[in-house]
A and B are shown apart, each in its own frame.
Chain A
Amino acid sequence: DAGVTQSPTHLIKTRGQHVTLRCSPISGHKSVSWYQQVLGQGPQFIFQYYEKEERGRGNFPDRFSARQFPNYSSELNVNALLLGDSALYLCASSLVGSGASGYTFGSGTRLTVV
């Protein structure tokens, strides 16, 4: 089985632009979460989606939005990019209600805002 796949792997954008990041979960996983990892820090929770509904949101501005599709894949959108949005964006999938089984992460999208 394929793991969690994210695209693109790297991206360079200019301040003020918009970006869309994509994630495909492991087959059978219905929940997708997004995390932002700034260099030298641990990942910070942005969103969690399950069955196309937002189930959790971290402390991020409204410039960040996401959605989940019927096939459980997900997009993270960021508007009006700032230099501080430069980070590794990680997607994680999980079986809802799986308790301590944890999350499976993708390899991330490295976003650089110039």
Chain B
Amino acid sequence: AQTVTQSQPEMSVQEAETVTLSCTYDTSENNYYLFWYKQPPSRQMILVIRQEAYKQQNATENRFSVNFQKAAKSFSLKISDSQLGDTAMYFCAFRDSGAGSYQLTFGKGTKLSVIP
């Protein structure tokens, strides 16, 4: 079974600074997908960024980028120019690419606070 570990329960960053959230995972699969989701107090899980394991290039979405290290099974999220609206819980998630394997496995989350 796949597992996802987020070792930082809480983090804080000054507004406009850069912060990196860590995520490691364990799987025996070669092809899979990785995601970062943001959950603000409104409770809705919002997709931040995704990565396909067969792509070596790290995904980027505006101020958000990942450092995907397949051999190390590491998938960290970097937030540049942090904004107050980035304050939220961040969850790393894994999904097997096999047919019919659509479930997401989540980590326990990192609570990020952006300080003015």
Q: Which residues of A pack against B, CB within 8 Å?
A: 31, 33, 35, 40-45, 48, 50, 55-56, 58, 88, 90, 92, 94, 96, 99-108, 110
Contacts of A102 in B (CB 8 A): 33, 35, 47, 50
Structural contact, B103 and A108, CB atoms closer than 8 A: no
Tell whether B42 is near chain A: CB-to-CB under 8 Å.
Answer: yes
Least CB separation from A90: chain B residue: B45
Distance in angstroms between the alpha carbons of A95 and B65 in the assembled complex: 25
Q: Which residues of B pack against A, CB within 8 Å?
A: 4, 33, 35, 37, 42-47, 50-52, 91, 93, 97, 100-109
Structural contact, B43 and A107, CB atoms closer than 8 A: yes
Structural contact, A43 and B43, CB atoms closer than 8 A: no
Min C-beta distance of B39 to chain A, whole Å: 9
Structural contact, B103 and A104, CB atoms closer than 8 A: no
Structural contact, B43 and A58, CB atoms closer than 8 A: no
Structural contact, B97 and A33, CB atoms closer than 8 A: no
Structural contact, A103 and B44, CB atoms closer than 8 A: no
Interface centre among A31, A40, A44, A100 (most CB of B within 10 A): A100
Interface centre among A58, A92, A102, A106 (most CB of B within 10 A): A102
A-B contact pairs, 16 of them (CB 8 A): A33-B102, A33-B103, A42-B91, A42-B109, A43-B45, A56-B100, A56-B102, A90-B45, A92-B45, A99-B97, A100-B52, A102-B50, A105-B37, A105-B44, A105-B46, A107-B44
